[in-house]
Amino acid sequence: MSVKRYLKVIFPLLAILTSLILAACSAPARLPVLSKDDVVVAFGDSITFGTGAEALESYPAVLEKIIGRRVVNAGVPGEVTAEGLSRLAKVLDQEKPVIIVICHGGNDHIRRLNRKQVADNIRAMVSLSRQKGAAAVLIAVPSLGLSVTPAPLYRDIAKELNVPLEEKTLSSILADNSLKSDLIHPNAAGYRRLAESVAGLLKKSGAID
């Protein structure tokens, strides 16, 4: 085969292969399909707990209504990621969730704890969840600063471990005074928006129809 003919054959094949690779890289991480009896755990600190709103207005309570599955609120106000990691196994053993939504790190950011250790703790939460049979979802928590932007560590972990990530919604909520109960917590409307975004991510990732 001549070089010219070889190039005519190989270039289209390379183009197809490249498009397939790019499509695979851009596809969202997949989650197990939830049956009606499956449990979802919302795991985190005060934002998961629902500080600033009534219990039925927390994002886990609203998410439960949207997706039609039991959603356990496993939020502990004031908790840092090291404490969350310490109690995670008990929550997983008790609730046996199919999916766990992790929204953690805000208190670490406020206390300016070591960023690498925070990332390692969240990475360990994802790994432990998988060991216990639960697929993980991450919610990015904003960094401290002049603007409310997602901390890059969440995107890094999501990419590394192939975890579905809700990256922007919480930052946009905390940048909007009409959606906040105080400087660092959503109000009922903010929690509803967060629940809607998480539900959208679950649908996009194949967990619900």
Residue 14 pLDDT more than 50?
no
pTM value?
A: 0.86
Phi, psi for residue 39 in degrees, rounded to 5:
-110, 140
Q: What is the pLDDT of residues 142-174, one digit of tens each?
A: 986 657 899 999 999 999 999 999 999 999 999
Can you tell me the distance from the alpha carbon of 14 to that of 152, in angstroms, rounded to the nearest whole number? 33
The domain spans of the chain are 3-204
- State the virtual CA torsion across 140, 145, 147, 151 in degrees, nearest 10: -20
* Gap between the terminal Cα atoms of the chain: 51
Q: How many CB atoms lie within 10 A of CB 46?
A: 17
The class (CATH top level) of 3-204 is: alpha beta
The per-residue pLDDT for range 34-73, each reduced to its tens digit, is 999 999 999 999 999 999 999 999 999 999 999 999 999 9
Give the model confidence (pLDDT) of 79-101 as tens digits: 999 999 999 999 999 999 999 99
